[in-house]
């Protein structure tokens, strides 16, 4: 009889430990989300571009000897009745020089829609050297029925960008913004205005 109670205690302890392990692994699944984002931010492999203030941008030393072609691609996610196009297909810039470009967007629907643009830069290795001081993607963009709008993007390329990169492609995809507002969006982005 003694041995069964010893065994029962041992079972209970082991099951407790295994349940803790199970709970930890469930938590680990969720922990992978911030880990993934941190990993992408540090390595820049997600094509996610950076964000700088005007002051920070001014500290970069222009490299007039190098030229980099920046191409623009725009997409509208399925189901969003918007027009969206870059006003220039590409620009040639020097690293370290702040450059302005403009995009045009319009709502074809007869009701107002809020959109959110998601940027991506190719090649991935260049993403961490590409920063914007102003972008319509920093905030959600409401468009009234039939409204047309031209929005700016100001970007700067860090002169430390790898020497083999002479061409990058910046793409934006507009999605219908999810219902909940994002508190971070309003803080730093300059007002998107024509």
Partner 1 sequence: MSEAAAHHDAHHEHHATGMMRWLTTTNHKDIGTMYLIFSLIMFFIGGSMAMIIRLELFQPGLQFVNPQFFNSMTTMHALVMIFGAVMPAWTGFANWLVPLMIGAPDMALPRLNNWSFWILPFAFSLLLGTLFMPGGAPAGGWTMYPPLVLQTGEAFPFLIFAVHFMGASSIAGAINIIATVFNMRAPGMTLMKLPLFVWTWIITAFLLIASIPVLAGAVTMLLTDKFFGTSFFSAAGGGDPVMFQHIFWFFGHPEVYILILPAFGIASAIIPTFARKPLFGYSSMVYAAAAIAFLSFIVWAHHMFTVGMPLAGELFFMYATVLIAVPTGVKVFNWVATMWQGSMTFETPMLFAIAFVVLFTIGGFSGLMLGVTPVDFQYHDTYFVVAHFHYVLVTGAIYSLIAGTYFWLPKMTGHMYDEKLGKLHFWLSTISVNVLFFPQHFLGLAGMPRRIPDYAVQFADWNMVSSIGGFVFGASQLLFVIGIVKCIRGGEKATAQVWEGAHGLEWTLPSPAPYHTFSEPPPAASIEGGMR
Of the residues 55, 65, 164, 179, which one makes contact with partner 1 according to CB under 8 A: 179
176 binds partner 1 (CB under 8 A): yes
173 binds partner 1 (CB under 8 A): yes
Of the residues 25, 58, 87, 144, which one makes contact with partner 1 according to CB under 8 A: 25
43 binds partner 1 (CB under 8 A): yes
Tell which positions 113-172 bind partner 1, by CB under 8 A: 116, 118, 124-125
Task: Please state, in angstroms and rounded to a whole number, the distance separating the CA atoms of residues 49 and 52.
Answer: 10
58 binds partner 1 (CB under 8 A): no
Shortest distance (Å) from residue 13 CB to partner 1: 9
65/180 with CB nearer partner 1: 180
Shortest distance (Å) from residue 63 CB to partner 1: 25
31/92 with CB nearer partner 1: 31
* HEC secondary structure over the chain: CHHHHHHHHHHHHHHHHHHHHHHHHHHHHHHHHHHHHHHHHHHCCCCCCEECCHHHHHCCCCCCCCCEEEEEEEEECCCCCEEEEECCCEEEECCCCCEEEEEEEEECCCCCEEEEEEEEEECHHHHHHEEEEEEHHHCCEEECCCCEEEEEEEEEECCCCCCCCCEEEEEEEEEECCCCCCCCHHHHCCCCCC
75 binds partner 1 (CB under 8 A): no
Shortest distance (Å) from residue 62 CB to partner 1: 29
Residues of the shown chain interacting with partner 1 in the complex, contacts defined by CB under 8 A: 7, 10-11, 14-15, 18-19, 21-23, 25-30, 32-33, 36-37, 40, 43, 45-46, 77, 116, 118, 124-125, 173, 175-180, 182
């Amino acid at each position: 009889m003694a041995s069964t109670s010893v065994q029962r205690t041992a079972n209970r302890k082991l099951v407790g430990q295994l349940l803790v392990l199970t709970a930890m692994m469930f938590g680990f699944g969720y922990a992978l989300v911030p880990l993934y984002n941190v990993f992408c931010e540090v390595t820049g492999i997600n094509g996610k571009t950076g964000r700088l203030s005007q002051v920070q941008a001014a500290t970069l030393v222009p490299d007039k000897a190098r030229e980099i072609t920046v191409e623009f691609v725009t997409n509208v996610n399925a189901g969003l009745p918007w027009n969206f196009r870059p006003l220039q297909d590409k620009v040639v810039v020097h690293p370290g020089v702040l450059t302005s470009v403009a995009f045009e967007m319009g709502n074809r629907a007869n009701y107002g829609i809020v959109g959110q643009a998601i940027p991506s830069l190719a090649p991935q290795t260049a993403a961490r050297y590409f920063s914007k001081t102003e972008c319509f993607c920093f905030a959600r963009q409401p468009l009234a029925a039939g409204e047309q709008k031209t929005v700016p993007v100001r970007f700067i390329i860090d002169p430390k960008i790898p020497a083999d990169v002479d061409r990058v492609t910046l793409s934006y995809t507009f999605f219908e913004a999810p219902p909940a507002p994002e508190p971070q969006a309003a803080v730093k982005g300059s007002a998107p205005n024509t």
